[in-house]
A and B are shown apart, each in its own frame.
Chain A
Amino acid sequence: EPEVTQTPSHQVTQMGQEVILRCVPISNHLYFYWYRQILGQKVEFLVSFYNNEISEKSEIFDDQFSVERPDGSNFTLKIRSTKLEDSAMYFCASSAGQGQPQHFGDGTRLSIL
């Protein structure tokens, strides 16, 4: 069964540095998402992406965040100047259509020191 893959599985970065989290969504899916989950807390929506542009973003997704689909298969989340509170699991998801089940990757654990 096709799956969403995310790399790296764990990223350790110094505060203030830039990180790029990578995702390969399921190939025939059209909608892409990033969520995060701080340890012990809820899964929180960050951003959705459709037709090569951001369709919606949450309050968490401020100017330090950006997303890109550089080559038709990868979907990336960039955090420009990381803060301690950015430490979390970041999940990528994709879906075939609006309101359809979302398929999640196993996440990247981001640790900011």
Chain B
Amino acid sequence: SQKIEQNSEALNIQEGKTATLTCNYTNYSPAYLQWYRQDPGRGPVFLLLIRENEKEKRKERLKVTFDTTLKQSLFHITASQPADSATYLCAQPYGGSQGNLIFGKGTKLSVKP
């Protein structure tokens, strides 16, 4: 069955460093991947979408890559700030669906001042 995994449940880094989060998928090659941020008690907030024909996408301090050979996406936050502390979710469309998403369990990022 289709799986999407975020290997690290938690990541602790120092302010100013680059955070790198990993998302791996199996058994299906998605047309795109999406990254969301979720704060406690809140709904996911869309950050970036990267399509299978795109190697890299950037938005301000965020960068996402998509390696279809490794079946992996990396999500980077450069010059991290304590305000970046949150859970980051990776998601892919479910099979041939009309955009229904399968989410990873997320990586909880803590940025220490």
Give A contacts to B, CB under 8 Å: 4, 31, 33, 35, 41-45, 48, 50, 55-56, 58, 91, 93, 95, 98-107
Among B43, B49, B94, B101, the residue within 8 A (CB) of A107 is B43
Contacts A101-B34, A105-B43 hold; do A45 and B105 have CB atoms under 8 A apart? Answer: no
B104 touches A56 (CB 8 A): no
Nearest Cβ on chain A to B85's Cβ, whole angstroms: 18
Among B49, B102, B106, the residue within 8 A (CB) of A101 is B49
Contacts A56-B98, A95-B99, A102-B99 hold; do A41 and B105 have CB atoms under 8 A apart? Answer: yes
Give B contacts to A, CB under 8 Å: 31-32, 34, 36, 38, 41-46, 49, 89, 91, 93-94, 97-106
A102 touches B101 (CB 8 A): yes
Contacts A42-B105, A45-B94 hold; do A99 and B99 have CB atoms under 8 A apart? Answer: yes
Q: Beyond the given A91-B43, A103-B46, A106-B41, could you list 11 further A-B residue pairs with CB under 8 A, ordered by the A residue number? A: A41-B105, A42-B103, A43-B89, A43-B91, A56-B97, A56-B100, A58-B100, A91-B44, A98-B98, A106-B43, A107-B43
Q: Report B-chain residues with C-beta under 8 Å of the C-beta of A44.
A: 103
* Bound CA–CA A28/B91 (angstroms): 23
Nearest 9 pairs of A and B residues by beta carbon: A104-B43, A101-B46, A43-B103, A98-B98, A45-B100, A106-B43, A98-B99, A104-B44, A42-B105
Among B38, B49, B102, B104, the residue within 8 A (CB) of A45 is B102
B89 touches A48 (CB 8 A): no
Looking across the interface, which residue of chain A has its beta carbon closest to that of B98? Answer: A98
